[in-house]
Amino acid sequence: MNGKPQPPKQSPQPPKQSPHSCRRLRPEFLAPGRNLVEIPGFVFPQKVLWPENVTKKTAKQMSSFQISKNIRIMRQLQVTPGTFYISANEQQLGSLFKAVGKILRLKGWLETKIPCDSCRVVLGGALGKGVAWRSLGKTEFGNKPIVNFYKHFRRICRKGAFVKIMREFCLTSSTVLKQFVPNTYLFYPSGVMESEVEGFAWDFETRANEQEGKNIWILKPTRGSKGDQIVCMNDIKKIVIFLDGKHECNECWVVQKYIENPLLLPGSRKFDMRCWVLLNYDYSIWIYTEGVFRTCSVPFSLEDLDNKFVHLSNHCIQVEYVCVQTLLAGRESMELPPSATYSSFNLFGFDFMIDQSYRVWLLEVNSSPAVAAALNAELAGDLVEVAIESYIASGLHEGVLRAQSAKITISEKNKFKKIYPRI
């Protein structure tokens, strides 16, 4: 050597990369049998690009903060329109919102496995299961996400609560409840003083004296669904004894006049109609222009009240009127204030029956309605456009309200029709 000290060798520096440098995920991230990419924290389509510095190893160690940071980078690159979080398991989610999740993925949305402050959409299970209401818009959720339920939907979906809120609404409006809801009385087996025994007894006896039909009444638990525990009776003593035997029940039972003259399909089969109604984030009301008839499997008869296959079939201007009045009745308790840290939309199932005079009767409102398989995919796509994409376009998720011109225009093919407020 020449005796001169040699400078220490420096390790070669990697070429500088843009902080937004991205690449496609490697094949090992592909979920077996699915055209989706899966890494801890996310599920998204294979076409989505991911920031260069995220590897399979580092993805396992990513914190919520790091995930959110990477999502923001992806948004800046216009790689994804947003992130959604499913807070329920597959069984609780239901077929409709499974389809909604699938459509969001196909549109380039990211599905996060954990709540993070970049979540724009939260999908809860039936009856809002899995939704962490207190966390929405706070801590993990840094912006103003939209969730697929109104928190107090039970005010119109629990049978007893529905009767109460509709009665209160009719006292301060021109709506007449008896025009579209059969005579109804509430029984509280654990609190006799609250039961409407006298009113029911008077109504029953009046109809009996006037020999108005067979005087049949239908008894329904306030939390019941899918026809569970529903019975039909025409003997007031048996009705009272039956209800007295429900002492273990902490909530009321609904006793409602049975519609004895339903409009029948050929073959003397009874039917009802299911309408899907969307209550959107701005409390606008939309009705889906396709519905379903649900029919009984055997001919209609008033002779056998114990045969559920005859009586339980578990959609016009009249229908729209009833849907609007019902949701306006629940507005005071359901509508979110501007200061709320999240927004909501809710798809309801309204069940109607038509009598032989073509009069429309509302039977009940469902918060997590089943959707016919033939309509499920199309309805889910229309729902994404009206409820989710229009919310994102409005800017409300970022705490701003964009000009009307910046909002999306609903496709002419979309089958949701706005019925309130009228344009």
Average confidence (pLDDT) over 151-155:
95
Under 8 Å between Cβ of 122 and 319: no
Q: What angle do CA 228, 161, 308 make, to 5 degrees?
A: 20
- Segment 379-402, tens digit of pLDDT: 999 999 999 999 998 888 776 665
Asked which of 31-35, 109-113, 119-123 is least confident by mean pLDDT, the reply is 31-35
Q: How far is 345 from 119, CA to CA, in rounded Å?
A: 16
- Segment 288-344, tens digit of pLDDT: 999 887 776 555 555 555 544 343 333 467 888 999 999 999 999 999 998 898 999
Q: Which residue has the higher pLDDT, 247 or 10?
A: 247
Residue among 279, 317, 329 nearest 176 (CA) = 329
- pLDDT for 272 equals 86
Q: How far is 147 from 183, CA to CA, in rounded Å?
A: 35
Average confidence (pLDDT) over 338-366:
92
Percent of the chain at pLDDT exceeding 70: 69
Q: Count of residues for the chain?
A: 423
Average confidence (pLDDT) over 59-86:
59
- pLDDT for 310 equals 41
pLDDT confidence band for 163 (50 / 70 / 90): very high
pLDDT confidence band for 35 (50 / 70 / 90): very low
Q: Which residue has the higher pLDDT, 41 or 202?
A: 202
Q: Which residue has the higher pLDDT, 422 or 257?
A: 257
Q: What is the average pLDDT value for the chain, to the nearest integer?
A: 78
Residue keyed to tokens 């009249």 = 318
* Domain parsing of the chain, residue ranges: 22-147, 183-257, 262-326+338-420
- pLDDT for 118 equals 73
- pLDDT for 123 equals 95
pLDDT at position 211 over 80: no
Instruction: Tokens for 26, please give them.
Output: 């490697």
Q: How far is 289 from 83, CA to CA, in rounded Å?
A: 30
Residues paired with residue 119 on neighbouring β-strands, in sequence order: 83
Which of the listed ranges 48-62, 286-300, 372-386 does the model predict with the highest average pLDDT?
Answer: 372-386
Instruction: Tokens for 258, please give them.
Output: 């049975």
- pLDDT for 2 equals 57
pLDDT confidence band for 139 (50 / 70 / 90): low
The CATH superfamily assigned to 183-257 is: ATP-grasp fold, A domain (3.30.1490.20)
What's the 3-state SS for the chain? Answer: CCCCCCCCCCCCCCCCCCCCCEEECCHHHECCCCCEEEECCEEEECCCEEECCCCHHHHHCCCHHHHHHHHHHHHHCCCCCCEEEECCCHHHHHHHHHHHHHHHHHCCCEEECCCCCCEEEEECCHHHCCCCCCCCCCCCCCCCCEECCCCCCHHHHCHHHHHHHHHHHHHCCCCCHHHCCCCEEEECCCCHHHCCHHHHHHHHHHHHHCCCCCCCEEEEECCCCCCCCCEEECCHHHHHHHHHCCCCCCCCEEEEECCCCECEECCCEEEEEEEEEEECCCCCEEEECCCEEEECCCCCCCCCCCCHHHHCCCCCHHHHHHHHHHHHHCHHHHCCCCCCCCEECEEEEEEEEEECCCCEEEEEEECCCCCCHHHHHHHHHHHHHHHHHHHHHHCHHHCCCCCHHHCCCCCCCCCEEEEECCC
pLDDT at position 96 over 90: yes
Q: Which residue has the higher pLDDT, 24 or 323?
A: 323
Average confidence (pLDDT) over 144-159:
94
- pLDDT for 412 equals 92
pLDDT at position 228 over 80: no
Asked which of 122-126, 168-172, 222-226, 340-344 is least confident by mean pLDDT, the reply is 222-226
The pTM of the full predicted model, rounded to 2 decimals, is: 0.77
Q: Is the peptide bond before 12 cis (omega within 30 degrees of 0)?
A: no
Question: Is domain 262-326+338-420 given the CATH code 3.40.50.1820 in the classification?
Answer: no
CA dist 181 → 156, 177, 407 (Å): 13, 6, 38
